[in-house]
Amino acid sequence: MVVGAESENLLSRAGRTLTHMKALEAESIHIIREVAAEFEKPVLLYSIGKDSSVLLRLAQKAFFPGKIPFPLLHIDTTYEYPEMIQFRDEYSARIGADLRVGLNDAAVAAGANPYALGTQKCCGLLRTRALVETLAKGGYDAALGGARRDEEKSRAKERVYSFRDAQGQWDPKNQRPELWNLFNGRIDKGESIRVFPLSNWTELDVWLYIHLDQIPIVPLYFAKERPVVLRGETVIPYVDGVKLLPGEAPVMVKCRMRSLGCTPCSGAIRSEADTLPGIIEELIAFRRSERENRVIDHDEEGSMETKKREGYF
Protein backbone atom coordinates (compact mmCIF):
# COMPACT_ATOMS: atom_id res chain seq x y z
CA MET A 1 0.00 0.00 0.00
CA VAL A 2 1.37 3.40 -0.93
CA VAL A 3 0.75 5.67 1.99
CA GLY A 4 0.70 8.91 0.04
CA ALA A 5 -1.88 7.61 -2.36
CA GLU A 6 -4.05 6.47 0.51
CA SER A 7 -4.10 9.86 2.22
CA GLU A 8 -4.81 11.54 -1.09
CA ASN A 9 -7.71 9.18 -1.49
CA LEU A 10 -9.01 10.14 1.90
CA LEU A 11 -8.79 13.81 1.03
CA SER A 12 -10.61 13.39 -2.23
CA ARG A 13 -13.17 11.33 -0.42
CA ALA A 14 -13.98 14.10 2.01
CA GLY A 15 -16.44 16.89 1.83
CA ARG A 16 -19.44 15.36 0.16
CA THR A 17 -22.97 15.75 1.30
CA LEU A 18 -26.18 14.23 0.10
CA THR A 19 -29.00 16.27 -1.34
CA HIS A 20 -31.90 16.58 1.05
CA MET A 21 -33.90 14.08 -0.98
CA LYS A 22 -31.12 11.50 -0.82
CA ALA A 23 -30.63 12.17 2.90
CA LEU A 24 -34.33 11.65 3.57
CA GLU A 25 -34.33 8.54 1.42
CA ALA A 26 -31.37 7.05 3.32
CA GLU A 27 -33.04 7.81 6.67
CA SER A 28 -36.34 6.22 5.60
CA ILE A 29 -34.67 3.10 4.20
CA HIS A 30 -32.80 2.72 7.49
CA ILE A 31 -36.09 2.85 9.39
CA ILE A 32 -37.82 0.34 7.11
CA ARG A 33 -34.91 -2.11 7.41
CA GLU A 34 -34.92 -1.79 11.20
CA VAL A 35 -38.57 -2.81 11.21
CA ALA A 36 -37.94 -5.84 8.98
CA ALA A 37 -35.03 -6.90 11.20
CA GLU A 38 -36.54 -6.34 14.63
CA PHE A 39 -40.19 -7.31 14.38
CA GLU A 40 -41.66 -10.74 13.93
CA LYS A 41 -44.62 -9.81 11.77
CA PRO A 42 -44.54 -6.35 10.25
CA VAL A 43 -46.98 -5.05 7.68
CA LEU A 44 -47.01 -2.00 5.45
CA LEU A 45 -50.26 -0.06 5.56
CA TYR A 46 -50.97 0.83 1.98
CA SER A 47 -53.58 3.51 1.45
CA ILE A 48 -52.98 3.80 -2.31
CA GLY A 49 -52.30 7.55 -1.92
CA LYS A 50 -49.18 9.45 -2.92
CA ASP A 51 -47.48 9.02 0.47
CA SER A 52 -48.11 5.28 0.36
CA SER A 53 -46.66 5.20 -3.13
CA VAL A 54 -43.45 6.81 -1.87
CA LEU A 55 -43.35 4.49 1.14
CA LEU A 56 -43.78 1.48 -1.12
CA ARG A 57 -40.95 2.60 -3.40
CA LEU A 58 -38.69 3.11 -0.38
CA ALA A 59 -39.55 -0.40 0.83
CA GLN A 60 -38.62 -1.77 -2.59
CA LYS A 61 -35.32 0.08 -2.36
CA ALA A 62 -34.65 -1.14 1.19
CA PHE A 63 -34.70 -4.81 0.21
CA PHE A 64 -33.50 -4.69 -3.39
CA PRO A 65 -32.64 -7.03 -5.12
CA GLY A 66 -35.00 -8.99 -2.88
CA LYS A 67 -38.70 -8.42 -2.59
CA ILE A 68 -40.42 -6.60 0.24
CA PRO A 69 -40.33 -9.20 3.06
CA PHE A 70 -43.70 -8.27 4.54
CA PRO A 71 -47.23 -7.90 3.19
CA LEU A 72 -49.04 -4.72 2.22
CA LEU A 73 -52.33 -4.15 3.95
CA HIS A 74 -55.07 -2.03 2.50
CA ILE A 75 -58.06 -1.19 4.67
CA ASP A 76 -60.94 -1.25 2.25
CA THR A 77 -63.90 0.89 3.29
CA THR A 78 -65.76 -0.23 0.14
CA TYR A 79 -66.22 3.47 -0.67
CA GLU A 80 -62.91 4.00 -2.47
CA TYR A 81 -62.81 5.25 -6.02
CA PRO A 82 -62.71 2.34 -8.51
CA GLU A 83 -59.51 3.79 -10.02
CA MET A 84 -57.83 3.40 -6.63
CA ILE A 85 -58.72 -0.27 -6.34
CA GLN A 86 -57.66 -0.93 -9.92
CA PHE A 87 -54.33 0.83 -9.35
CA ARG A 88 -53.80 -1.04 -6.08
CA ASP A 89 -54.32 -4.46 -7.64
CA GLU A 90 -52.31 -3.79 -10.79
CA TYR A 91 -49.36 -2.10 -9.12
CA SER A 92 -48.94 -4.54 -6.24
CA ALA A 93 -49.06 -7.44 -8.72
CA ARG A 94 -46.51 -5.74 -10.96
CA ILE A 95 -43.95 -5.34 -8.16
CA GLY A 96 -44.65 -8.79 -6.76
CA ALA A 97 -45.94 -7.53 -3.42
CA ASP A 98 -48.11 -9.62 -1.13
CA LEU A 99 -51.31 -7.55 -0.90
CA ARG A 100 -53.82 -8.20 1.85
CA VAL A 101 -57.13 -6.41 2.15
CA GLY A 102 -58.84 -5.82 5.47
CA LEU A 103 -62.36 -4.62 6.07
CA ASN A 104 -64.90 -4.44 8.82
CA ASP A 105 -67.25 -7.14 7.50
CA ALA A 106 -69.87 -6.62 10.14
CA ALA A 107 -70.12 -2.87 9.58
CA VAL A 108 -70.11 -3.27 5.79
CA ALA A 109 -72.82 -5.92 6.04
CA ALA A 110 -74.84 -3.59 8.27
CA GLY A 111 -74.57 -0.97 5.54
CA ALA A 112 -72.40 1.57 7.36
CA ASN A 113 -72.29 4.81 5.39
CA PRO A 114 -71.44 8.43 6.15
CA TYR A 115 -74.93 9.68 5.23
CA ALA A 116 -76.63 7.67 7.93
CA LEU A 117 -73.85 7.66 10.55
CA GLY A 118 -72.00 10.93 10.01
CA THR A 119 -68.43 10.95 8.81
CA GLN A 120 -66.91 10.43 12.26
CA LYS A 121 -68.79 7.29 13.10
CA CYS A 122 -68.43 5.94 9.59
CA CYS A 123 -64.67 6.47 9.63
CA GLY A 124 -64.52 4.97 13.10
CA LEU A 125 -66.14 1.79 11.89
CA LEU A 126 -64.81 1.39 8.37
CA ARG A 127 -61.28 2.67 8.88
CA THR A 128 -60.18 2.76 12.49
CA ARG A 129 -62.11 -0.29 13.73
CA ALA A 130 -61.26 -2.22 10.58
CA LEU A 131 -57.58 -1.34 10.95
CA VAL A 132 -57.30 -2.20 14.64
CA GLU A 133 -59.15 -5.47 14.16
CA THR A 134 -57.23 -6.49 11.06
CA LEU A 135 -53.93 -5.78 12.77
CA ALA A 136 -54.96 -7.74 15.85
CA LYS A 137 -56.35 -10.63 13.85
CA GLY A 138 -53.23 -10.80 11.70
CA GLY A 139 -50.97 -10.70 14.76
CA TYR A 140 -48.99 -7.84 13.21
CA ASP A 141 -46.56 -6.35 15.72
CA ALA A 142 -45.47 -3.42 13.56
CA ALA A 143 -47.38 -1.41 10.99
CA LEU A 144 -45.53 0.96 8.67
CA GLY A 145 -47.49 3.99 7.53
CA GLY A 146 -46.93 7.04 5.36
CA ALA A 147 -47.90 9.76 7.84
CA ARG A 148 -45.73 12.88 8.02
CA ARG A 149 -45.04 15.33 10.82
CA ASP A 150 -45.82 18.34 8.64
CA GLU A 151 -49.35 17.16 7.90
CA GLU A 152 -51.08 18.48 10.93
CA LYS A 153 -50.32 20.06 14.32
CA SER A 154 -50.88 16.97 16.43
CA ARG A 155 -48.37 15.08 14.29
CA ALA A 156 -45.44 17.47 14.82
CA LYS A 157 -44.55 15.53 17.96
CA GLU A 158 -45.22 12.07 16.68
CA ARG A 159 -42.40 9.59 17.05
CA VAL A 160 -40.98 7.55 14.20
CA TYR A 161 -41.83 4.50 16.32
CA SER A 162 -45.24 5.22 17.82
CA PHE A 163 -46.17 2.86 20.62
CA ARG A 164 -49.75 1.48 20.70
CA ASP A 165 -51.22 -0.53 23.54
CA ALA A 166 -53.03 -3.84 23.12
CA GLN A 167 -56.15 -1.93 22.01
CA GLY A 168 -54.17 -0.15 19.30
CA GLN A 169 -54.48 3.14 21.17
CA TRP A 170 -52.00 5.99 21.18
CA ASP A 171 -51.16 7.70 24.47
CA PRO A 172 -49.41 11.01 23.82
CA LYS A 173 -48.08 11.01 27.38
CA ASN A 174 -46.54 7.59 27.11
CA GLN A 175 -44.30 7.82 24.07
CA ARG A 176 -40.65 6.83 24.16
CA PRO A 177 -37.85 9.35 23.71
CA GLU A 178 -36.17 8.88 20.34
CA LEU A 179 -32.53 9.86 19.98
CA TRP A 180 -30.17 9.56 17.01
CA ASN A 181 -31.42 6.78 14.77
CA LEU A 182 -31.81 4.31 17.63
CA PHE A 183 -35.40 3.10 17.74
CA ASN A 184 -36.89 1.13 20.60
CA GLY A 185 -39.20 -1.54 19.24
CA ARG A 186 -39.57 -3.55 22.46
CA ILE A 187 -43.18 -4.55 23.10
CA ASP A 188 -45.15 -7.08 25.07
CA LYS A 189 -47.58 -9.49 23.52
CA GLY A 190 -50.57 -7.76 21.95
CA GLU A 191 -48.89 -4.37 21.84
CA SER A 192 -47.65 -2.91 18.59
CA ILE A 193 -45.63 -0.13 17.04
CA ARG A 194 -46.80 2.13 14.25
CA VAL A 195 -43.78 3.20 12.26
CA PHE A 196 -43.59 6.37 10.18
CA PRO A 197 -40.56 6.34 7.88
CA LEU A 198 -41.71 9.56 6.17
CA SER A 199 -41.84 11.53 9.44
CA ASN A 200 -39.38 14.16 8.25
CA TRP A 201 -40.74 14.54 4.74
CA THR A 202 -42.90 17.49 3.76
CA GLU A 203 -45.65 17.41 1.18
CA LEU A 204 -43.31 19.13 -1.28
CA ASP A 205 -40.64 16.47 -0.63
CA VAL A 206 -43.15 13.74 -1.40
CA TRP A 207 -44.10 15.29 -4.74
CA LEU A 208 -40.52 16.11 -5.62
CA TYR A 209 -39.53 12.50 -4.95
CA ILE A 210 -42.41 11.14 -7.02
CA HIS A 211 -41.25 13.44 -9.80
CA LEU A 212 -37.54 12.56 -9.53
CA ASP A 213 -38.12 8.83 -9.18
CA GLN A 214 -41.01 8.69 -11.65
CA ILE A 215 -43.16 6.79 -9.16
CA PRO A 216 -46.53 5.66 -10.52
CA ILE A 217 -49.52 7.23 -8.74
CA VAL A 218 -53.27 6.90 -9.05
CA PRO A 219 -54.49 8.84 -12.14
CA LEU A 220 -57.03 10.69 -9.94
CA TYR A 221 -54.17 13.00 -8.88
CA PHE A 222 -53.93 14.36 -12.43
CA ALA A 223 -56.41 16.89 -13.78
CA LYS A 224 -58.93 15.59 -16.30
CA GLU A 225 -62.50 16.35 -17.36
CA ARG A 226 -64.56 14.35 -14.90
CA PRO A 227 -68.25 14.14 -14.02
CA VAL A 228 -68.71 15.85 -10.65
CA VAL A 229 -71.35 17.07 -8.28
CA LEU A 230 -70.93 20.65 -7.11
CA ARG A 231 -71.94 20.99 -3.48
CA GLY A 232 -71.25 24.49 -2.20
CA GLU A 233 -67.54 25.03 -2.68
CA THR A 234 -66.87 21.32 -2.75
CA VAL A 235 -66.31 19.42 -5.99
CA ILE A 236 -67.32 15.79 -5.55
CA PRO A 237 -66.43 13.32 -8.31
CA TYR A 238 -69.60 11.58 -9.39
CA VAL A 239 -69.06 7.85 -9.12
CA ASP A 240 -71.08 4.89 -7.90
CA GLY A 241 -72.06 5.39 -4.30
CA VAL A 242 -72.28 9.18 -4.41
CA LYS A 243 -75.86 10.12 -3.70
CA LEU A 244 -77.34 13.17 -5.38
CA LEU A 245 -79.17 15.53 -3.08
CA PRO A 246 -82.43 17.01 -4.28
CA GLY A 247 -81.76 19.50 -7.09
CA GLU A 248 -78.25 18.22 -7.84
CA ALA A 249 -77.05 16.95 -11.21
CA PRO A 250 -73.60 15.83 -12.33
CA VAL A 251 -71.57 18.20 -14.56
CA MET A 252 -68.21 17.86 -16.35
CA VAL A 253 -65.37 19.79 -14.73
CA LYS A 254 -61.59 19.61 -15.26
CA CYS A 255 -60.43 18.65 -11.80
CA ARG A 256 -58.14 16.43 -9.77
CA MET A 257 -57.84 15.01 -6.23
CA ARG A 258 -55.32 16.52 -3.82
CA SER A 259 -55.72 13.65 -1.40
CA LEU A 260 -57.48 10.36 -1.83
CA GLY A 261 -60.16 8.98 0.41
CA CYS A 262 -63.69 7.63 0.23
CA THR A 263 -66.03 8.86 -2.46
CA PRO A 264 -68.52 10.55 -0.15
CA CYS A 265 -65.88 12.37 1.91
CA SER A 266 -63.10 13.52 -0.38
CA GLY A 267 -63.48 16.55 -2.57
CA ALA A 268 -61.70 17.32 -5.83
CA ILE A 269 -60.31 20.68 -6.84
CA ARG A 270 -60.72 22.47 -10.15
CA SER A 271 -57.31 22.19 -11.76
CA GLU A 272 -55.37 22.23 -15.01
CA ALA A 273 -52.43 20.30 -13.49
CA ASP A 274 -52.05 17.17 -15.58
CA THR A 275 -48.29 16.66 -15.10
CA LEU A 276 -46.12 16.27 -11.99
CA PRO A 277 -44.42 19.68 -12.42
CA GLY A 278 -47.90 21.10 -12.91
CA ILE A 279 -49.07 19.54 -9.66
CA ILE A 280 -46.05 20.88 -7.77
CA GLU A 281 -46.58 24.35 -9.18
CA GLU A 282 -50.17 24.22 -8.12
CA LEU A 283 -49.24 22.93 -4.68
CA ILE A 284 -46.97 25.90 -4.18
CA ALA A 285 -49.58 28.32 -5.42
CA PHE A 286 -52.24 27.05 -3.06
CA ARG A 287 -50.21 26.17 0.00
CA ARG A 288 -53.37 25.08 1.64
CA SER A 289 -53.34 22.31 4.09
CA GLU A 290 -53.75 19.21 1.99
CA ARG A 291 -56.53 18.08 4.23
CA GLU A 292 -58.58 21.22 3.76
CA ASN A 293 -60.85 19.47 1.33
CA ARG A 294 -61.33 16.44 3.46
CA VAL A 295 -64.48 16.87 5.38
CA ILE A 296 -63.43 14.72 8.30
CA ASP A 297 -60.92 17.10 9.79
CA HIS A 298 -63.51 19.81 10.12
CA ASP A 299 -65.86 17.78 12.22
CA GLU A 300 -64.49 18.83 15.54
CA GLU A 301 -61.52 20.77 16.84
CA GLY A 302 -58.56 18.45 17.20
CA SER A 303 -60.41 15.61 15.56
CA MET A 304 -57.19 14.14 14.20
CA GLU A 305 -55.80 13.80 17.70
CA THR A 306 -59.00 12.16 18.88
CA LYS A 307 -58.92 9.67 16.04
CA LYS A 308 -55.26 8.91 16.65
CA ARG A 309 -55.89 8.13 20.27
CA GLU A 310 -58.46 5.63 19.09
CA GLY A 311 -56.02 3.92 16.75
CA TYR A 312 -56.39 5.79 13.46
CA PHE A 313 -53.26 6.48 11.53
Partner 1 sequence: MPAVEAGFTIEEFLKRAEERDLLRFSTAGSVDDGKSTLIGRLLYETKGAFEDQIASIKNSKYSRAASGPFDFALLTDGLKAEREQGITIDVAYRFFQTATRKFIIADTPGHEQYTRNMATGASTADLAIILIDARLGVLPQSRRHATISALLGIPHIVVAVNKMDLREWSEEAFRAIEAEFRPFLASLGITAPHFIPISALYGDNIVTRGEQSGWYTGKTLLETLESVPVGRDRTADPFRLPVQIVLRPNQDFRGFAGQIASGTIRRGDPVMVLPSGRTSRVKSIVTYDGNLDEAFAPMSVTIELEDHVDVSRGEMLVGAAAPPHVARTVEARLVWMDEEPLEEGKEYLIKHTTQMARARVVRIAGRLDVVAGRESAAVSLRLNDIGTVVLEANRPLLFDAYRRNRSTGSFVLIDPIRNGTSGAGMIEEPRQTARQRDRTALRDHHVSPVTQAERFVRNGHVPATVVVQGKPDLAMRLERALFELGALVFVRAEPSGDLLAAGALVILCPRQAGAFCVDVPGVKSVEIDPAVLPADPDEAVEAMIARLEHDGVLLKHVSFEPGEGI
Contacts to partner 1 by CB under 8 A: 1, 3, 10-11, 13-27, 29-30, 33-34, 36-37, 60-67, 149-150, 153, 156-157, 172-173, 175-182, 184, 186-188, 199-200, 202, 204-205, 208, 211-212, 277-278, 280-281, 284-287
Minimum CB distance to partner 1 smaller for 109 or for 182: 182
Q: Which is nearer to partner 1, 182 or 245 (CB)?
A: 182
Of residues 101 and 280, the one with the C-beta less far from partner 1: 280
Question: Letter for the amino acid at 67?
Answer: K
Residue 60 to residues 19, 23, 25, 187, 212, Cα–Cα distance (Å): 20, 17, 12, 26, 16
Q: Which is nearer to partner 1, 249 or 285 (CB)?
A: 285
Minimum gap (Å) between residue 284 Cβ and partner 1:
4
CB of residue 282 to partner 1, shortest distance in Å:
9
Give the chain's radius of gyration (CA, Å): 21
Smallest separation (angstroms) from partner 1 to the CB of 290: 14
State which residue, 23 or 244, has the beta carbon closest to partner 1: 23
Measured from the CB atom, the residue of 86 and 167 that comes closer to partner 1 is 167
Residue 5 CB, shortest distance to partner 1, in Å, is 12
Least distance (Å) from partner 1 to the CB of residue 197?
11
Of the pair 25, 51, the CB lying nearest partner 1 is at 25
Residues 6+ apart with CB under 8 A from 254: 223, 224, 225, 226, 270, 271, 272
Q: CB of 196: closest distance to partner 1 in angstroms?
A: 11
Give least dist CB 72 to partner 1, A. 17
- Give the distance from CA 140 to its chain's centroid: 18
